[in-house]
């Protein structure tokens, strides 16, 4: 099989370390350093490698202002054959769907292509929804989070894909779109002098004059950004002094004073009461929830949230799920008034096609989906199919003037933006673990149900799926112990008592997940996850910006590192200077002495050494 033409799509993003927010909470753009999105660097490197291997051509595309040409120069200097800059003032202010439409038009103008590679997501907007929206617009299969790939015979490509908390091996029929994970290969990276040396004739510019009337930019964007709130957390780092025991005692004093350890009341909902909807015959508007198979916690949380929204707009909740997983009474107790049962199991692209057809007929007020790979693909494709606005990775939802307002963190959580869709149907994907699980309602009657046929088009074949973690465990943890490279995996057992006493979950830096010491779902940071626990203990990590951006919203951060110069000390609330293997047992002893012995069985089973 040869790959004659490969397209790679790249995005220019602000260099995070250089990012500043103005007093109005908006990004200060003047003088801001820009660079190629890290995931896109892998897509370029892989595209160039495949083109060389298969005697094909690799063309790199971006949509952006004229300055985005620098990113294309970098790709060409790395070995891409040529590049296309889609740039027009009319395209300013594009949301993800308008961007996907501009890219689709450019690819159709220059194509056809056998393979299209993109980054998994951009680190600034972090929605991951352009790839599925584009795949839908071009009617292509999509494989997301590709970590390894092989071109197979007779027009198929095989990929090992990194999903939220596990792995999927799948084959897709070419032409196909693949979104690349960070560790797919070494990144394309070229210094400024190499970029400047690129022959300008290798870069073509396309404007709306080439691509048609649009609508482009703001006019073609079914979402609008409303209020923006700065969510800065200011920390006053405190270096603790004395012996390890003295520092630990002072740290626990502070943690108790700050309420960072100890019992927390269980979250039910805002009013602390279960959601009760007594009227099952409510009509429209419909709040639809796309329920991912085998994700029970997120299904319960999303249905509870949908019930609250339905109450606010006087509507009812419709759950959409594979019939094999349908327990009508259970889903009814979680908030579903009606269930749409998808017959058979099919890849997300085919489920999306069926759901889009159903939604076009029923015109729901809102569609909520989990912010997982599955949810992003289904919701992204449905939004592209309907031309409806999609807000990705929302952490809060409210209703204002009859419209759904979805609050979305941006720039690593430094700000929160209120996004409103202008389309009749408003789509939202919700960050895993962020919604409270509301108590079930008593079910006197089962929800009504209908079936929905899905046609499996056979363009993606899932060969193997494996979960090596549970995405919600870390997302919902009140206390998280984040470990860096200094803690060797064979000694992780020495952290068990600390985890037990604090009721904490384990997380890690990229160096740790790169080495395979912990699952990738445990990585925090700019190319990992963002969490907001009450307490974060950073153990044996240098505390680089790229890591700590993932815990910016933590209530209290404690650093444990013997190097007084390590940046983690200045980025934390409490800094303990010492080696983890001395500090951790001292901390456990101190916490136990003050009555924080959480799980007696674990303590009994722990080595007594």
Q: For binding to ligand FAD (CB under 6 A), which residues are involved? A: 38, 484-486, 509-512, 523-528, 540-542, 544, 546-547, 560-563, 566, 579-580
For ligand FAD, give the closer residue by CB, 176 or 487: 487
For ligand FAD, give the closer residue by CB, 340 or 508: 508
Nearest of 451, 423, 524 to residue 220 by alpha carbon: 423
**Residue 508 CB, nearest approach to ligand FAD (Å):** 7
| Cβ(165)–Cβ(470) below 8 Å | yes
For ligand FAD, give the closer residue by CB, 43 or 367: 43
d(CA 394, CA 420): 11
Cα–Cα–Cα angle for 334, 339, 341, rounded to 5 degrees: 125
**Residue 455 CB, nearest approach to ligand FAD (Å):** 39
**Residue 340 CB, nearest approach to ligand FAD (Å):** 37
Other CB atoms within a 10 A radius of the CB of residue 425 amount to: 26
**Residue 179 CB, nearest approach to ligand FAD (Å):** 16
For ligand FAD, give the closer residue by CB, 297 or 510: 510
- Alpha helices by DSSP H, listed for 55-185, are 69-78, 96-110, 130-137
Helix, strand or coil for residue 328? Answer: helix
For ligand FAD, give the closer residue by CB, 137 or 486: 486
**Residue 202 CB, nearest approach to ligand FAD (Å):** 26
**Residue 161 CB, nearest approach to ligand FAD (Å):** 18
Buried/exposed 139-163: b ≥16 CB within 10 Å, e otherwise = ebbbbbbbbebebeeeebbbbbbbb
Strands (E) across 414-527 are located at 415-421, 426-430, 448-453, 460-467, 479-483, 505-508
d(CA 172, CA 170): 7
**Residue 187 CB, nearest approach to ligand FAD (Å):** 8
Cα–Cα–Cα angle for 127, 188, 392, rounded to 5 degrees: 0
Helix, strand or coil for residue 467? Answer: strand
d(CA 59, CA 48): 9
For ligand FAD, give the closer residue by CB, 37 or 59: 37
For ligand FAD, give the closer residue by CB, 426 or 561: 561
Buried/exposed 296-335: b ≥16 CB within 10 Å, e otherwise = bbbbbbbbbbbbbbbbebebbbbbbbbeebbebebbbbbb
For ligand FAD, give the closer residue by CB, 167 or 545: 545
DSSP state of 316: E
**Residue 544 CB, nearest approach to ligand FAD (Å):** 4
Cα–Cα–Cα angle for 377, 379, 381, rounded to 5 degrees: 65
For ligand FAD, give the closer residue by CB, 38 or 315: 38
Residue closest to ligand FAD when measured from CB atoms = 525
For ligand FAD, give the closer residue by CB, 370 or 482: 482
**Residue 103 CB, nearest approach to ligand FAD (Å):** 23
| Cβ(404)–Cβ(425) below 8 Å | no
**Residue 33 CB, nearest approach to ligand FAD (Å):** 14
CA dihedral sign of residues 438, 442, 448, 450:
positive
**Residue 487 CB, nearest approach to ligand FAD (Å):** 7
Nearest of 580, 523, 512 to residue 550 by alpha carbon: 523
| Cβ(477)–Cβ(536) below 8 Å | no
Other CB atoms within a 10 A radius of the CB of residue 213 amount to: 8
d(CA 512, CA 484): 6
Maximum C-alpha span of the chain: 75
For ligand FAD, give the closer residue by CB, 17 or 327: 17
**Residue 209 CB, nearest approach to ligand FAD (Å):** 36
| Cβ(503)–Cβ(598) below 8 Å | yes
For ligand FAD, give the closer residue by CB, 87 or 530: 530
DSSP 239-303: E--SSHHHHHHHHHHHHHHTT-SS--PPP--TTSS------TT--SSEEEEEPPTT-HHHHHHHH
**Residue 529 CB, nearest approach to ligand FAD (Å):** 8
For ligand FAD, give the closer residue by CB, 240 or 369: 240
d(CA 317, CA 379): 17
């Amino acid at each position: 099989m040869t790959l004659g033409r490969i397209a790679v799509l790249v995005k220019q993003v602000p260099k995070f370390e250089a990012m500043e927010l103005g007093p109005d909470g908006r990004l200060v753009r003047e003088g801001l350093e820009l660079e190629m999105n890290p995931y896109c660097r892998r897509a370029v490197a892989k595209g160039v490698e495949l083109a060389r291997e298969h005697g094909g051509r690799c063309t790199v595309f971006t949509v952006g202002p004229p300055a985005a040409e620098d990113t294309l120069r970098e790709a060409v200097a790395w070995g891409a054959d040529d590049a296309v800059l889609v740039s027009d003032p009319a395209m300013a202010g594009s949301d993800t769907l308008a961007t996907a439409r501009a890219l689709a038009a450019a690819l159709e103008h220059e194509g056809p292509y056998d393979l299209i590679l993109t980054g998994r997501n951009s680190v600034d907007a972090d929605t991951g929804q352009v790839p599925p929206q584009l795949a839908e617009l071009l009617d292509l299969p999509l494989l997301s989070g590709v970590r390894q790939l092989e071109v197979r015979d007779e027009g198929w490509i095989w990929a090992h894909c990194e999903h939220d908390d596990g792995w999927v091996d799948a084959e897709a029929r070419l032409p196909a779109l693949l979104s690349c994970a960070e560790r797919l290969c070494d990144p394309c990276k070229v210094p400024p002098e190499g970029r400047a040396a690129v022959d300008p004739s290798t870069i073509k510019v396309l404007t709306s004059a080439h691509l048609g009337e649009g609508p482009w930019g703001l006019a073609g964007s079914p979402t609008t950004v409303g209020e923006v709130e700065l969510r800065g957390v200011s920390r006053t780092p405190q270096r603790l002094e004395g012996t390890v025991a003295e520092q630990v005692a002072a740290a626990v004093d502070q943690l108790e004073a700050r309420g960072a350890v100890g019992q927390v009341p269980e979250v039910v909902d805002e009013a602390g009461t279960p959601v009760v909807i007594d009227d099952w015959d409510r009509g429209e508007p419909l709040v639809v929830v796309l329920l991912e198979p085998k994700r029970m916690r997120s299904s319960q949380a999303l249905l509870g949230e949908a019930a609250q929204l339905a109450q606010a707009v006087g509507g009812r909740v419709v759950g959409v799920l594979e019939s094999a997983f349908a327990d009508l009474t259970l889903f009814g107790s979680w908030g579903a008034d009606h269930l749409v049962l998808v017959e058979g199991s099919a890849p997300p692209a085919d489920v999306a096609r069926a759901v889009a057809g159903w939604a076009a007929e029923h015109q729901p007020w809102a569609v909520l989906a989990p912010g997982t790979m599955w949810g992003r693909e289904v919701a992204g494709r449905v939004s592209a199919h309907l031309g409806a606005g999609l807000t990705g990775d929302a952490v809060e939802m409210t209703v204002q003037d009859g419209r759904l307002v979805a609050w979305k963190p941006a720039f690593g959580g430094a700000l929160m933006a209120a996004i409103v869709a202008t389309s009749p149907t408003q789509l939202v994907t919700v960050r895993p673990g962020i919604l409270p699980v509301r108590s079930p309602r008593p079910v006197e009657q089962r929800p009504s149900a209908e079936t929905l046929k899905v046609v499996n088009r056979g363009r993606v074949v899932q060969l193997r799926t494996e979960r090596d973690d549970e995405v919600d465990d870390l997302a919902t943890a009140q206390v998280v112990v984040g470990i860096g490279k200094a803690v060797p995996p064979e000694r992780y057992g020495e952290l068990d008592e600390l985890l037990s006493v604090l009721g904490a979950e384990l997380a890690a830096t990229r160096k740790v997940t790169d080495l395979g010491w912990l699952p990738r779902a445990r990585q925090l940071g700019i190319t990992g996850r963002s969490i907001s626990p009450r307490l974060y203990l950073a153990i044996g990590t240098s505390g680089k910006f790229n890591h700590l951006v993932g815990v910016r919203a933590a209530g209290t951060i404690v650093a444990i590192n013997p190097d007084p110069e390590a940046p983690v000390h200045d980025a934390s609330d409490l800094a303990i200077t010492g080696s983890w293997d001395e500090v951790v047992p001292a901390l456990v002893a101190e916490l136990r002495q003050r009555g924080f012995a959480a799980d007696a069985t674990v303590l009994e089973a722990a080595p007594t050494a």
